[in-house]
Structure 1
Amino acid sequence: MLCYCINPFCDNRQNPNDIENCLSCGTSLLINDRIRLVEPLRELADNPFNYFEVFEVEDASTQWNLGSKRRVMKVLKWDTPNLVKLIEHESLALQLIQHSNIPKSTVDDFFTFIPKNSRLILHCLVMDKFEGEDLEQWIESNGRISQSLALKWLKQLVEILDTVHRSDFFHRDIKPSNIVLQPNGQLALIDFGTARRLTNTYLAKVSGSGGTDKGRGGRYEVTSVVTPHYTPLEQINGQAVPQSDFYALGRTFVQLVTGIKLMDLPIDNKTGNLIWRNKATHIDKPVAAFIDELMAQLPGQRPQTTRVILQRLEKLPQQIKNYRLANSKIFKFSKYTLMGLLSIWGISLSIPLAANYLVAQGERAEAANDSQSAQEFFDSAIKINPQVKNSISQFYFDKASRSTQKLQDAKKYYKLSINYNNQDVDAYNNLAFVCQLLNEFDCVTINYEKALKLKPDSWEGHYGLGTFYDDQGKKSLAEKQYELSIKINSQAIPVINNLSRLKILKGNYNAAIALALQGLQNTKEPKLQAALYKNLGWAKLQQRQLGEAKEYLEKAEKLDGQRADIYCLLAQTQEALGDNDNSWLNWEACLVLESKQPEVFRWRKDVLQRIRLKRSSR
């Protein structure tokens, strides 16, 4: 049995497995007293552009990984800043993203190593290995996949991506060769070497002037990662966003359902879209349309979040049934026959009855995903009886409300509801909120302003506009809207909590404490209480009143043990009190629990940087 020398400039890297040092160059064959290189997973070519080598390794146990096991180690051969930054980003991503089908890596799995008699600094990253074959290999052996398997695999991958994106990363290199089909039938997503951290600074770079088309047209120093045929235009231009992963995912599934390499599929010269549906006739139109939507040319035309995609996937089986029904001969015959009969006999029928019948037919057509026919029925109903506008408006409002996780659909339905009833304040508020989730900022402000014009004393409208400004980092505008909301409704606890947090970020700790105490007097809901106690503890920590800070934060933890920010603040408080053992336990919880708060990611970055500095100084 052989093992390999880690030194890329060694003349003969193969060695017997039972010796300690390389016979050729003398470099230790046991890296960091724990790792032996068993087999190269890429060809060990003497190529200056081959920056990384990848090995299967035998890894002895550490405090983080108990028990000897086979793993994978990536080795960066060149100590250049940009490449070092890439492998550092990959290490950070694998530490923070916790999912059973993503390679696991810990703080101790990223280190440097210097071969014997060399000045070369090798950066090494160890991660778990998934058994199985990648989908590039699988499809070559098995051919295209069925629609049912495509939906099953798509759901698996989006659930993985959901964890990645909620951890504020995106992958940037999804393709069949980076997806492994394991023996248990589960897919694993690998190779996070190009993963990007989603920070406010990064978003500012790619969004330019507020996310407008003009603002996105510039060039920014954002690392560009390109895999031909899978990479969207915005990523080629160095402006990748989370929706760029969806484009690559859609293209991956085109290859899977056609069994044809993307380079061999034609492209529509007018739209730039792949022409693939005629090569996958077993895929129903709703599924094909959804895959095309994933691959839309512009990020804003794709589903905006993984949650949206998962909700859409839940509805696809019913949409497939509706589509097959709507395209059956019986359904087509009944639709046109009934409309003809109504036009011939409409005079003798009750006008309200005829209009209501057409509305019912429109609702049925919409349920069958036949929007064009639905509009025809609704327009005919309104011509007969304009009073049905309100019922049609309510129908679309209800449909939008049920589609809150399908953001593009919800937006469409709220707009249709407003078209039939432009005095509906709730529709404007809800449309603004959906646009906020879609990052369509002009739509947000326009619709909140319309809602507030119709109902100036709507605390929900001011609260919604405040959260929008808050997310944009416009703290003063957010503060004004929160205060207006509380003035209208002093019992609006979520608003009180948001304003309290905002006061802390602005350094107004006494005001934050007063608001948190006010909120606690008016709510018995545990999660809201936890958020308010967290704010009290945070403010007291900033004032260096450590005993009170610890007391409030421990109360918050008992009420809601899944909030990462509570553990981050507890860790900082215990550090300040000199309780380093308990502090480290809370830092661990801070690192692994889900959070979308920007301050949590700032705290995580700081503690990981401290760990690295401490290790490098040993």
Structure 2
Amino acid sequence: MVYCINPLCTKRHNPDEAENCLTCETPLLINNRIRLLRPLRSLEKDVDSNTEVFEVEDTAPVWGEKPRIRVMKILKWSEPKRIELMRREVQVLTNLAHPGIPRADVSDYFTYTLPTLGIKMYCLVMEKMEGENLEQWVETYGKISQNTALDWMLQVLEMVEHLHRRGYFHRDIKPTNIIHQPDGKLALVDYGAVRAITQTYLVKVAASGEDAITGGGSGYEVTAIGSIGYSAPEQINGQSLPQSDFYAIGRTFVYLLTGIPILDLPTDSITGRLKWRHKATHVNKPVADFIDELINPFPGLRPQTTELIRQRIQKLPWDSRVHEILKSRLFKISQYGLIAVAVIGGGFLSRPIIAGYFISQGEKLETSNATQSAIKNFDIARKIYPAKNLSIARFYFEKGSRNLNNPQLAKKYYELAVKYNDKDASAYNNLAAMCQLLGDVSCVKSSYEKQFAIEPNGWEGHHGLGSFYESQGKNDLAEKEYQIAIQKSEQAIPAIAALARLKNKNKDYNAAASLATKGLQKTQNKELLASFYKDLGWSSWQQNNLNQAQQYLEKATSLDPQRTDAYCLLSQVETALKKTDDARTSLEVCMLGKSSLPEVFMWRQQFLDRILKNE
């Protein structure tokens, strides 16, 4: 069967051997290369009356290949805005190179004029991604599992990340535009709504109000485009952003996990949030919480970059496993688990700020009125500081310190603090810490550089920069910064602890033990003492001095019951000593305690791997 390209033809399907349409006599070979094999959208009730999509046979001689089965999008009417969108799609597809994104060449975009009617049609031929779209997949197989969701989400994110890095965002992500290919890999199709991320465009969005959709108001025109149910609120208002793609991804996975069309799911009458969890009881809380962040109605409260989303998705299997362990009979929350909290190894914020961050970790961003919140913060700051010393900079510094559970917001306040007082070394130090949490490398480096310029003899900044380099896996640079901190001040005892820990990580156990011994002679602080005993226990364990390692680690946990890493080490030492009951107790604290230390995550994963191996 071959189809006629004429949209006004009353009987468009023709026999394979026909050269011209039997009804309207339009040639069936388009531009001497394309034959339309079958429509991929209904021709009678097309959701988009301006375009048609066909599976086609392309006979163009490309490197001597045989005719290829491809897809062709046809713009039926010469509407300027639609022509612009198709040209933009051509530009995108010819500039992208990803196995999950259809390929197209410049020669694949052409016009065709109907010989009898004189109507010019715009055509774009592209690679056909074999398989069924995810809406069809769900109709056939039902809603997907949580593990499948995480796998597919990473695949979709990889394609969106590829698009964003090249300066575009998709604007029409939905189940029907994601193809499940025969090899199990996903493909993202239909780039007809794609938009370039340019400064000009973002200025237009920022300047536009409701009238901007029709060209009024500010004088800028920002076209509203997308799909109902999947497009973000700001996109429906003609103000789409890169974060609008994240909203569409979240909504897509709500559909995949529930199997229920988005428009059939209820919304909360007060918050406007989608109510879907009761239809996806196989999804645990960490994953559901993450999806709800993606579909937050406010773009500023969604994850802001693909990298942040990737980190969250990659961490979700662990969060989910711990969530299940906490619910299982195998692990009961002990008195140790109730008090176990993590201590950041970097130490680049003051202890009260670190404590405030951990206390607030996991809490939702406050949604109280901004003015009331400002007044409240102002009153607190005024109580702490005399009125004569109060400044706008200090006010913003305090607001930043009180919003550490939201690094993006805290970063904003610290930036305002240094704007009004560029001599505040503490503000630069805390700004660097927030930028580290957000993965903003240039901000981290520039903030520490400005802190060093203000306090050339200070050690805290070098300690913080060392912690940053260590988190980036640049251990040689981290060691250099820790050593600078130690050289600058006798007070840089936390830097000694950090360097001892790094030496253990690098398997230089003698150096770690030497540093820890040195540190014990310089402080009476229980938490620092615990850190040094922990590192002595670590090095002794790796040198097979098990009894000595146990003594050091028990000393560490007695001095600081909050040292999750010490419990992890102690459980391994006790296991080696065949002290099974003791090892189990230490392991519970290791698994339940909060920690951001990479070695803790490694030890936990090793334990889980042993469980899975023995199942």
Q: Deviations over 1:186-232 (max 9, x none)?
A: 1111111111111111111112399xxxxxx9775211124222122
CA distance in 2, matches of 1:333, 1:109: 63
Cα displacement (A) at 1:178: 1.2
- The question of whether the paired residues in 2 share the 8 Å contact of 1:40 and 1:54 is answered with yes
* Aligned-partner Cα distance in 1 for 2:406–2:174: 30
* Superposition deviation, residue 308 in structure 1: 1.0
Aligned match of 1:272: 272
Contact 2:417 2:427 in 1 (8 A): no
Question: In 1, are the aligned partners of 2:208 and 2:217 still within 8 Å (CA)?
Answer: no
Unaligned runs of 5+ in 2: 210-215, 366-380, 386-392, 436-442, 455-615
Structure 2 counterpart of 1:363: 342
Change over 3 Å in CA distance of 1:145–1:449 after alignment to 2: same
Q: TM-score, normalised by structure 1?
A: 0.56
**Are residues 1:446 and 2:416 paired?**
yes
- Structure-2 residue corresponding to 1:233: 233
- The letter for the 1-side match of 2:7 is P
Alignment of 1:377-388 (within 5 A): none
**Partner of 1:87 in structure 2?**
86
Tell me how far apart the structure 1 counterparts of residues 235 and 109 of structure 2 sit (CA, whole Å): 28
User: Is the partner of 2:341 in helix, strand or coil?
Assistant: helix
Is 2:178 the partner of 1:179? Answer: yes
The residue matched to 1:126 in structure 2 has which SS? strand
Distance in 1 (CA, whole Å) between partners of 2:62 and 2:70 is 16
Identify if the C-alpha distance between structure 1 residues 259 and 338 changes in structure 2 by more than 3 Å, giving closer, same or farther: closer
Cα distance in 1, alignment partners of residues 238 and 310 from structure 2:
28
Q: Which residue of 2 aligns with 1:190?
A: 189
Partner amino acid, structure 2, of 1:137 = Q
- 2:117 aligns to what? 118
Paired AA for residue 227 in structure 1: S
What corresponds to 2:6 in structure 1? 7
* Deviation, structure 1 residue 72: 0.6
> Residues of 2 paired with 1:258 and 1:84: CA distance?
37
Q: Radius of gyration: which is bigger? A: 2
The answer as to whether partners of 2:86 and 2:192 remain within 8 angstroms in 1 is yes
Any idea what SS the aligned residue of 1:272 has?
A: coil
Q: 1 CA distance for matches of 2:92 and 2:27? A: 29
Amino acid at match of 1:291: I
Structure-to-structure mapping, 1:214-363, within 5 angstroms: 220-327=220-327, 333-335=333-335, 361-363=340-342
Preserved contact between residue 457 and residue 488 of structure 1 (Cα < 8 Å): no
Aligned partner of 2:459 in structure 1 is none
Q: Distance in 2 between matches of 1:278 and 1:459?
A: 44
Partner of 2:559: none
Q: Is the 8 A contact 1:91 1:125 kept in 2?
A: yes
Per the normalisation by structure 2, the TM-score is 0.57
Letter in 2 for 1:453: K
Q: Structure 1: how far apart are the matches of 2:282 and 2:46?
A: 44
Residue 453 of structure 1 aligns to a residue in which SS?
A: coil
AA in 2 matched with 1:25: C
Aligned equivalent of 1:136: 135
State the alpha-carbon separation in 1 of the partners of residues 284 and 427 from structure 2: 48
Check conservation: 1:26, 1:116, Cα contact below 8 A.
no
Distance 2:260 2:15 in 1: 43
Deviation at 1:96, TM superposition (A): 1.8
Q: Could you tell me how far apart the structure 1 residues matched to 2:424 and 2:67 are?
A: 67
Query: 1:83 and 1:284 mapped to 2: Cα distance?
Result: 43
Judge which range, 118-127 or 326-335, deviates more. 326-335
Q: CA deviation at 1:15?
A: 2.9
Is the CA contact (8 Å cut-off) linking 2:286 and 2:316 kept in structure 1? yes
Distance 1:452 1:62, change over 3 A: farther
Structure 1's 234 and 444: CA in aligned 2 closer, same or farther, altered over 3 A?
A: farther
Amino acid at match of 1:248: A
- Equivalent-residue separation in structure 1 for 2:248 and 2:47 (angstroms): 28
Corresponding residue number in structure 2 for 1:159: 158
2:26 is aligned to 27
Deviations 1:95-151 (A, max 9, x none): 222211111111111111101132211000111111111111111121111111111
Following superposition, the deviation at residue 435 of structure 1 comes to 13
Q: 1:304 to 1:254 in 2, by over 3 A?
A: same
Deviation of 1:20 (Å): 3.4
2:38–2:55 contact (8 Å) kept in structure 1: yes
Q: 1:113 to 1:173 in 2, by over 3 A?
A: same
CA distance in 1 between partners of 2:109 and 2:303 (Å): 35
> Could you say which residue in structure 2 is the equivalent of 1:71?
70
Tell me if structure 2 keeps the 8 A contact 1:230–1:252: yes
Specify every segment of 5 or more residues in structure 1 that has no aligned partner in the other structure, as ranges: 211-216, 340-357, 368-386, 401-407, 409-418, 466-477, 490-618
SS of the residue aligned with 2:150?
helix
Counterpart for residue 570 of structure 1 = none
Q: Which amino acid aligns with 2:39?
A: P
Q: Give 2:274's aligned amino acid.
A: L
Preserved contact between residue 414 and residue 427 of structure 2 (Cα < 8 Å): no
Measure how far apart 1:391 and its partner are.
5.0
1:338–1:188 distance in 2 versus 1, CA, 3 Å: closer
Shift in Å, 1:42:
2.0
**Residues 36-56 of structure 1: per-residue CA shift (max 9 Å, x gap):** 111122232398961111111
Distance 1:277 1:43, change over 3 A: closer
The answer to whether structure 1 residue 17 and structure 2 residue 20 are counterparts is: no
Are residues 1:102 and 2:72 paired?
no
Given the superposition, is the C-alpha separation of residues 435 and 292 from structure 1 closer, same or farther in structure 2, using an over 3 Å criterion? closer
In structure 2, distance between residues paired with 1:6 and 1:206: 38
Partner-residue secondary structure (3-state), 2:334:
helix
Change (3 A) 1:309 1:64: farther
